[in-house]
């Protein structure tokens, strides 16, 4: 396996992440440890997933089109939680994730870390506040997407849950308010958060700003979701929206200190039968660059959607069929205008993905999965600062195999 803990790992950053975990889980309520009942509430869990990625053209998470494929898709997580008080939960998770790229990408970081205070908690409603780094309530899968056991497939639909700009969608630093109301028809849940989005190097690369000396600094952002699930758990729907902002600093000609704004709307719908589930999500995504210079500034709206059928054969086996579509600009669906402008190949502006997958769970803590993707377009293909977009193949195929364990 090509994942090496010792290669290129910054011990200082590891210590910082571990210190955050310790601070969030233990420090705020240290006096409470005198009460033995607090020990009883402590829970520690973890997971490990290792995948093999094979493509016929284009590289995905490492040099997957060469030799026997790539083993550079690894996820390792460790989380802990405790209740120092009946209505206070402290929880945090460290995540080490490598998806191609340098081994330094696998340095453990704080995935989430919150102090969760429930102001009201009874049979009818729950009202609470989270402070810290909270997982963004976005679509059906974002808040649990790190763990393979909570995903319907090895890769989530890339038109909605981007791995290309993963940092922007995963979590925010600030405060999140949630309200859950249990009615005769079902459960209505509302969650809204404000703070700063995580804007890392993957966003710079996706916007083409990595070529310049300046950096994007996260600004004030907000996210919210309304979700309904009937009492039988058969029907689920959600509406999610966000406004993620960042300012560009340290610019040099030809750029000025501009701003970046990302505003998605996602409508989610799922129907669950005893043996099968039908899921669909539709998104409109507005991206705006303003104040950089006329050649860089732009405002465009992209469109994403997928339709997914999951069949549970028995308690151990399930299989999946999905069609997933991504369009970067609704006014240039084929990418032809983009290509004629000399910005890159047309196929870099869209992607249609047909996916067939299977999961086998012989034990509750062990899962083996495999899936096949036939893709037309490279709109969600992970970017490489050294790669030539024109050298990418429009039509390509991918096989993934994954082994996952948890405790």
Boundaries of domain holding 119: 11-406
CA neighbor of 291 nearest in space, from 209, 227, 220, 224: 209
pLDDT band for 94, please (50, 70, 90 cuts): very high
Write out pLDDT tens, residues 159-172. 999 888 888 888 89
Say if 270 falls within a structural domain.
yes
pLDDT band for 31, please (50, 70, 90 cuts): very low
pLDDT of residue 373: 98
Burial of 362 (0-12, 13-18, 19+ CB in 10 A): exposed
pLDDT of residue 15: 52
Question: What pTM was computed for the model?
Answer: 0.87
Write out pLDDT tens, residues 352-377. 999 999 999 999 999 999 999 999 99
Say if 1 falls within a structural domain.
no
Say if 5 falls within a structural domain.
no
pLDDT band for 7, please (50, 70, 90 cuts): very low
Write out pLDDT tens, residues 225-259. 999 999 999 999 999 999 999 888 887 788 888 88
Domain count, the chain: 1
Residue 295 CA to residue 210 CA, distance in Å, equals 16
Say if 361 falls within a structural domain.
yes
For 330-338, the CB contacts below 8 A with 24+ separation are 330/284, 330/300, 330/301, 330/302, 330/303, 331/300, 331/301
Say if 318 falls within a structural domain.
yes
Say if 4 falls within a structural domain.
no
Residue 240 CA to residue 202 CA, distance in Å, equals 23
Say if 3 falls within a structural domain.
no
Say if 102 falls within a structural domain.
yes
The CATH number of the domain holding residue 273 is 2.40.160.10
């Amino acid at each position: 396996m090509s994942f090496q803990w010792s290669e290129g790992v910054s011990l200082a950053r590891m210590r910082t992440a571990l210190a955050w975990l310790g601070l969030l889980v233990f420090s705020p309520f240290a006096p409470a440890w005198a009460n033995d009942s607090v020990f009883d509430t402590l829970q520690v869990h973890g997971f490990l997933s290792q995948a093999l990625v094979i493509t016929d053209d284009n590289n995905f998470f490492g040099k997957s089109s060469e030799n026997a494929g790539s083993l550079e898709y690894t996820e390792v997580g460790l989380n802990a939680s405790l209740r120092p008080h009946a209505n206070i939960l402290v929880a945090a998770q460290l995540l080490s994730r490598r998806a191609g790229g340098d081994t330094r990408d696998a340095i453990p970081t704080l995935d989430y870390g919150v102090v969760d205070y429930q102001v009201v908690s009874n049979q009818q409603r729950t009202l609470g506040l989270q402070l810290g780094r909270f997982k963004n309530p976005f679509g059906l899968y974002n808040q649990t997407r790190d763990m393979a056991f909570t995903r319907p497939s090895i890769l989530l639909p890339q038109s909605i849950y981007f791995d290309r700009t993963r940092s922007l969608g995963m979590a925010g630093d600030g405060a999140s308010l949630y309200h859950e109301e249990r009615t005769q028809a079902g459960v209505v849940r509302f969650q809204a958060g404000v703070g700063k989005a995580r804007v890392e190097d993957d966003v710079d690369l996706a916007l083409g700003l990595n070529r310049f000396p300046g950096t994007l600094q996260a600004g004030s952002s907000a996210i919210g979701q309304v979700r309904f699930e009937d009492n039988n758990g058969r029907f689920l729907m959600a509406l999610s929206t966000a406004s993620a902002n960042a300012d560009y600093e340290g610019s040099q000609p030809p750029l000025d200190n501009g701003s970046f704004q990302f505003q998605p709307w996602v409508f989610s719908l799922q129907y669950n039968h005893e043996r099968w589930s039908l899921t669909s999500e539709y998104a409109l995504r507005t991206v705006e660059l303003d104040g950089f210079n006329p050649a860089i500034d732009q405002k465009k709206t992209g469109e994403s959607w997928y339709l997914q059928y999951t069949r549970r054969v028995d308690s151990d086996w399930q299989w999946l069929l999905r069609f997933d579509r991504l369009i970067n600009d609704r006014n240039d669906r084929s990418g032809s205008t983009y290509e004629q402008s000399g910005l890159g190949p047309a196929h870099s502006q869209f992607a249609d993905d047909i996916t067939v997958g299977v999961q086998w769970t012989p034990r509750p803590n062990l899962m083996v999965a495999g899936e096949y993707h036939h893709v037309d377009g490279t709109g969600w293909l992970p970017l490489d600062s050294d790669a030539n977009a024109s050298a990418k193949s429009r039509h390509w195929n991918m096989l993934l195999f994954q082994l996952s364990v948890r405790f």
